[in-house]
Amino acid sequence: MSHPFDPALLAEARALQDDMIVVNGLDASLLNEEVVRTLKAGGVHMNMSTLPDLSLSSPFHQFMLDHADDLTPVTTVAGIHAARAAGKVAVGYCWQWVDLDEDLSQLAGYHRIGLRSSGIVYNVGNYIGSGCVDPNPGPLSHYGIQVVEALQDLRIVVDIGGHCSEATSYDVLQVAEGPVVCSHTNPLALRDNPRAMTDGLMRAIADTGGVIGIAAFNFFVVAEGQATLEDFLRQFDHMIDVVGVEHVGLGLDQIIGRNDRGPVNPVTLPPEAYPQRYEDWIYVEGLDDFTGVPLITAGLMERGYSPDDVEKIMGANWLRVWEEVWGE
């Protein structure tokens, strides 16, 4: 891996990370040894991890139990601070969409096992609302309104995730009270992709007090070739120009440990939004795993962002929203 930074700047970036809490607002990896190793090597203190298949998934929870010396599940910001003090990586649990067969009573059970953030729709529409790749996007349904209200009643963060259509996203913002987030997306102004977000929708999320996480998925950043770190850092510059530094964070959306091969399902993952073979699902140069996170910190520093602003982008913005929604 090549990068443009001298060792002194990288050392300064790591020292700055040691004085703050670094947060990844959305991870799609399967929990495994590589995830643990690279989270620690990259100086990431809190990782919002997608629960597989929306389920109680015994392997996921067993892995957490087996690695209790390195990982600890958290449901509060105080828990994140406690994990950091104990030298462990905090892990939050999230969904990228809601699929409960219209039985919202199940949400309380998932909340009990740690669910603290949830997407609404994943790419294609369902009985809740429409997705970002739907050719005829529509509104949030009556049931979708109930979903948003149920999530908020349980103090689960509402996440439009970059996977909802713009129409459904705006409806969610109208129904919800308090901060709404988009955990992992990229600016449409820099890359025309259905998974990207308009400046107007980003501003509307910021108006709620929410945060927008920037994804490192290569195809969301550039249409062809390998995205460079410079390409990725321009995403931060644009979003910060649009919504302000208080509303931007990391949502790297990595898929470490997932061994999918061959063609994707073009219905849910169409070619205008995703590469059509899993082998082509790559990431921004240097960001295949979490060891590259200090490169982001160094890049922001080199661009002239102040230490306080770097701290907000690298984690404090997420902590602010989570503390407001989750409470004590």
pLDDT digits (tens, 9 = 90+) for 196-229: 999 999 999 999 999 999 999 999 999 999 999 9
- Region of residue 33 (phi > 0: left; psi between -120 and 50: alpha; otherwise: beta): alpha
Structure tokens that stand for 88 in this block: 């462990």
Q: Is residue 35 in some structural domain? A: yes
User: Could you give the CA distance from residue 104 to residue 260 in angstroms, rounded to a whole number?
Assistant: 31
Which DSSP category does 31 fall into? P
Q: What is the pTM of this model?
A: 0.97
Contact (CB, 8 A) for 36 and 70: yes
Structure tokens that stand for 290 in this block: 């979490």
pLDDT reported for residue 54: 64
Q: Is residue 1 in some structural domain? A: no
Domain that holds residue 304: 7-326
| Low-confidence winner among 15-19, 48-52, 99-103, 156-160 (lowest mean pLDDT) | 99-103
CB contact burial 196-221 (16+ within 10 A = b; e otherwise):
bbeeebbebbbebbbbbbbbbbbbbb
Residue 167 forms beta bridges with which residues? none
Residue 197 forms beta bridges with which residues? 187
Which amino acid belongs to residue 306? Answer: S
Q: Is residue 39 in some structural domain? A: yes
Alpha-carbon separation of residue 88 from 37, 54, 270, 319, 327 (angstroms): 12, 25, 38, 17, 22
Q: Is residue 2 in some structural domain? A: no
What tens digit of pLDDT does each residue of 95-121 get?
A: 999 988 889 999 999 999 999 999 999
Structure tokens that stand for 143 in this block: 């049931």
Summarize the confidence of residues 23-46 as an average pLDDT: 97
Q: Is residue 287 in some structural domain? A: yes
Q: What is the mean pLDDT of the chain?
A: 96
Q: Which ranges of the chain does DSSP label H, i.e. alpha helix? A: 7-18, 33-41, 58-66, 77-85, 106-112, 142-153, 166-175, 199-207, 218-221, 229-243, 293-302, 307-311, 317-326
Q: Is residue 219 in some structural domain? A: yes
Q: Is residue 246 in some structural domain? A: yes
* pLDDT at residue 72 is higher than 80: yes
Q: How many folded domains does the chain comprise?
A: 1
What tens digit of pLDDT does each residue of 242-296 get?
A: 999 999 999 999 999 887 889 999 999 999 999 999 999 999 999 999 999 999 9
What CATH number does residue 55 fall under? 3.20.20.140
For residue 60, the SS3 value is helix
